[in-house]
Amino acid sequence: MARVPLIDENNTALAALIEKLKGARRGKLLNLYRVLLNSPSLADAWQAFNSAIRFNTALDDQARELAILRVSQLNGADYQFQIHATKYAPEAGLTPQQVAALDGSEHSSLFQPAHRALLAYTDAMTLDVDVPDAVFDKLKPHYSNAQIVELTILIGAYNMHTRVGRALHIDPEAS
């Protein structure tokens, strides 16, 4: 159970913002946003930033979802991992076998070299913060400078995302 109240989606004082958030999330007000609505200005800014890092980059869908899933897994963030593993990863073309193989992904033949480099970079950023040159150098042949910046921001943002979810005990939505 969340540590702060889940704001009701019928809250009339926040109706315009709630409709905006729902519109950006396929008509659903996710529990994450129901918690963030305790601070309306941050809920609004979070949605705008999250949409930009997920949908307005040159990263392909699989790269984006692999990074999000791996950050979620490393941080023990069941809320984000469950949502992305069951909904967004399949939409991006990732298989259940690939999702299950994220542990040990750096050596798995289920992932192409670009994705193995991305996952090693994700691990370094999430676990150690400082990325060794050898890890970064493996990323460079596969991604443009813009994509590396976008990937770095995505990983950093999802580290924040997952830590907020864990700290506030945000539960996944009921199916």
Query: Looking at the structure, do residues 98 and 146 belong to the same domain, yes or no?
Result: yes
Query: Looking at the structure, do residues 94 and 115 belong to the same domain, yes or no?
Result: yes
In a domain, 6, yes or no: no
27-64 pLDDT per residue, tens:
899 999 999 999 999 999 999 999 999 899 999 999 99
Burial letters 117-131, b for 16+ CB under 10 A, else e: bbbbbbbbbbeeeeb
Q: Do residues 146 and 58 lie in contact, with contact meaning Cβ atoms separated by under 8 Å? A: yes
Query: Looking at the structure, do residues 73 and 150 belong to the same domain, yes or no?
Result: yes
The sign of the torsion formed by the CA atoms of 108, 109, 115, 120 equals: positive
Query: Looking at the structure, do residues 78 and 123 belong to the same domain, yes or no?
Result: yes
Q: Looking up tokens 């950050």, which residue turns up? A: 71
Query: Looking at the structure, do residues 66 and 41 belong to the same domain, yes or no?
Result: no
Confidence (pLDDT) at 106: 65
Q: Looking up tokens 């601070």, which residue turns up? A: 39
Q: What single DSSP character describes residue 8? A: P
Query: Looking at the structure, do residues 123 and 145 belong to the same domain, yes or no?
Result: yes
In a domain, 144, yes or no: yes
Confidence (pLDDT) at 174: 76
Mean pLDDT of 149-171: 96
In a domain, 23, yes or no: yes
Query: Looking at the structure, do residues 43 and 67 belong to the same domain, yes or no?
Result: no
In a domain, 73, yes or no: yes
Helices (H), 25-143: 31-36, 40-55, 61-74, 78-83, 89-91, 96-100, 113-123, 133-139
Cβ atoms within 10 Å of 18's Cβ, excluding its own: 22
Query: Looking at the structure, do residues 36 and 89 belong to the same domain, yes or no?
Result: no
Query: Looking at the structure, do residues 91 and 163 belong to the same domain, yes or no?
Result: yes
Number of domains in the chain: 2
Query: Looking at the structure, do residues 41 and 102 belong to the same domain, yes or no?
Result: no
Cα distance between residue 115 and residue 171, in whole Å: 29
Mean pLDDT of 10-20: 96
Domain range spanning residue 50?
12-55
Backbone phi, then psi, for 94, in 5-degree steps?
Answer: -85, 140
Query: Looking at the structure, do residues 51 and 88 belong to the same domain, yes or no?
Result: no
Q: What is the CATH number of the domain that holds 97?
A: 1.20.1290.10
Per-residue pLDDT band for 175 (boundaries 50, 70, 90) equals: low
Query: Looking at the structure, do residues 76 and 151 belong to the same domain, yes or no?
Result: yes
86-144 pLDDT per residue, tens:
999 999 999 999 999 998 666 688 999 999 999 999 999 999 999 999 999 999 999 99
In a domain, 172, yes or no: no
Q: Write out the DSSP string of 156-174.
A: HHHHHHHHHHHHTTPPPPP
Confidence (pLDDT) at 92: 97
Confidence (pLDDT) at 172: 82
